[in-house]
Amino acid sequence: MSNEAKLELDGKTFTLPTITGSEQERAVDVSSLRANTGYITLDDGYGNTGSCVSKVTFIDGDKGILRYRGIPIEELAEKSNFIETAYLLIYGSLPTRPQLKTFSDLLAEHQFLHEDMKYHFQGFPTGSHPMAILSSMINAASCFDEGLMHWQFGKMKQFDIYVAKLISQVRTIAAYSYRKSQGLPLIYPKQSYKYTPNFLHMLFSMPYEEFDIKPEVAKALDLIFLLHADHEQNCSTSTVRMVASSQANLFASCAAGVCALWGPLHGGANQAVLEMLADIHSSGDDGSKFITAAKDKNSGKKLMGFGHRVYKNHDPRATIIKKSCDEVLSRLNISDPLLDIAKKLEEAALKDSYFVERKLYPNVDFYSGIIMRAIGIPVEMFTVIFAIGRMPGWIANYKEIMEEPKSRIYRPRQIYTGKTINSYVPLDQRK
């Protein structure tokens, strides 16, 4: 079989090379197309465009497969934890015991923010969205660090320290963002706590009372971080790569990822799911009226937490998280009417030809919101939790761009459909 593609354009035949990935996924390499033919490819929304080659994460959307560095997500969810998985994503293999210790020690060492950053938090009005504070403060961290200000792309001797700083400090900033949004005093991280319990401590302790961290709550949250740790070239990761390609520093690039993640069609979906369930509940509907509305394009409603650009069979993360959701709720002895509605919606949608024909299945956001609600995470923090989880994936992709000797700035083209040449009309002559 030929490993070249033939393209006929304007009566001429052009040959394009093809490339095959390690999982046999194939691409036609069009990088020389414009130079050779004068044409570009057009792929609105990038549904058929491979923007890079990458070794980090493999997804087969038709089969419902997700693997970090080759390891199935199901195995990691059962046997690993968020910090070990973060190491795996960023450095390419599971850490040895000494490597894990060094990484954990670096995280603990760099978890404190520069004291003066506290004054920046004070500048945000109470009620600000924590995602706005998070992206601003990750970027603002550059002003407090010489290395970030004078970033030497690919030549930073202490890149590992910046990796640890970002993973550790994003959690501190995230907790402070919430405390600030609620007008509560900031709580410092504790050196003796592990990553996820420390986050719960900063989120919920008071100066006069330590928060009682239940192991099952910390475990469920750690699993949510792990399941979100990477998802190949989605909107926010592509944003991080785009910014990184201009050689912006690690913090600035990942702050851009936070902004991309905020939208309701991406990371904001878990918040949107909960809001949808709460609306259904307060309207007295059991979900059936909403299903009908979600199928009607004029209703402006969608079944949030359903559908995925890549998964067209099932989202493997949704299967894992659904199980965790049932466990957490039964261990904490919580019965949640919103969970009952979610289950009814899922059952009805999976039988409904509209959803079946369009291959719309529950995605990870459908159940993560319910777990977070059960463990006391406020709704406006849901997307922030996603951002903390996704940080290792963003860093791994940043590192990949940085270490690629031939990497060049991302600069897509367009097909212009606006006016052809036009003249400036002075203000008093305009109609």
Q: How far is CA 283 from the centre of its chain?
A: 31
To the query of whether residue 365 is one of the catalytic residues in this protein, the response is yes
Cβ closer to ligand COA: 281 or 295?
Answer: 295
Candidate ranges 123-131, 185-193, 206-214, 304-312; the one touching ligand COA (CB under 6 A): 304-312
- Compute and round to an integer the Cα radius of gyration of the chain: 23
Side chain identity at 253, as an amino acid letter?
S
71 Cβ contact partners less than 8 Å away, ≥ 6 residues apart: 88, 94
Catalytic residue among 228, 231, 308, 315: 308
Cβ closer to ligand COA: 19 or 265?
Answer: 265
Query: Does residue number 305 form part of the binding site for ligand COA (CB under 6 A)?
Result: yes
d(Cα 416, Cα 162) in Å, to the nearest integer? Answer: 41
Longest CA–CA span in the chain (Å) reads 79
d(Cα 45, Cα 410) in Å, to the nearest integer? Answer: 16
Residue 68's nearest CA partner among 367, 299, 419, 390 is 390
d(Cα 393, Cα 226) in Å, to the nearest integer? Answer: 10
Query: Does residue number 309 form part of the binding site for ligand COA (CB under 6 A)?
Result: yes
CA angle 266, 268, 274 (to 5 degrees): 125
Query: Does residue number 289 form part of the binding site for ligand COA (CB under 6 A)?
Result: no
- Please count the residues of the chain: 431
Which two tokens mark 312?
């067209």
Query: Does residue number 391 form part of the binding site for ligand COA (CB under 6 A)?
Result: no
Query: Does residue number 304 form part of the binding site for ligand COA (CB under 6 A)?
Result: yes
Query: Does residue number 365 form part of the binding site for ligand COA (CB under 6 A)?
Result: yes
Side chain identity at 22, as an amino acid letter?
S
Candidate ranges 88-96, 160-168, 239-247, 359-367; the one touching ligand COA (CB under 6 A): 359-367
55 Cβ contact partners less than 8 Å away, ≥ 6 residues apart: 69, 92, 400
To the query of whether residue 116 is one of the catalytic residues in this protein, the response is no
Query: Does residue number 317 form part of the binding site for ligand COA (CB under 6 A)?
Result: no
Candidate ranges 48-56, 149-157, 306-314, 375-383; the one touching ligand COA (CB under 6 A): 306-314
Q: Which residues pair with 27 in a beta bridge?
A: 19
Query: Does residue number 306 form part of the binding site for ligand COA (CB under 6 A)?
Result: yes
Query: Does residue number 101 form part of the binding site for ligand COA (CB under 6 A)?
Result: no
Touching ligand COA, residues 132-161 (CB under 6 A): none
Q: State the first-to-last Cα distance of the chain, in angstroms, to the nearest integer.
A: 63
Site string for ligand COA, 320-349 (x = CB under 6 A): ------------------------------
d(Cα 366, Cα 307) in Å, to the nearest integer? Answer: 10
d(Cα 399, Cα 54) in Å, to the nearest integer? Answer: 11
Q: How far is the CB of 301 from ligand COA (least distance, A)?
A: 8
Side chain identity at 18, as an amino acid letter?
T
In 87-229 the beta strands, taken as DSSP E runs, fall at none
Q: How far is the CB of 241 from ligand COA (least distance, A)?
A: 19
Query: Does residue number 389 form part of the binding site for ligand COA (CB under 6 A)?
Result: no
Q: How far is the CB of 197 from ligand COA (least distance, A)?
A: 27
Candidate ranges 12-20, 204-212, 220-228, 360-368; the one touching ligand COA (CB under 6 A): 360-368
Query: Does residue number 118 form part of the binding site for ligand COA (CB under 6 A)?
Result: no
Q: How far is the CB of 287 from ligand COA (least distance, A)?
A: 13
Query: Does residue number 189 form part of the binding site for ligand COA (CB under 6 A)?
Result: no
Helices (H), strands (E): how many in the chain?
Answer: 19, 6
Catalytic residue among 222, 230, 315, 365: 365
Query: Does residue number 302 form part of the binding site for ligand COA (CB under 6 A)?
Result: yes
Query: Does residue number 229 form part of the binding site for ligand COA (CB under 6 A)?
Result: no
Query: Does residue number 269 form part of the binding site for ligand COA (CB under 6 A)?
Result: yes
Contacting positions for ligand COA (CB under 6 A): 265, 269, 294, 302-309, 358, 360, 363, 365
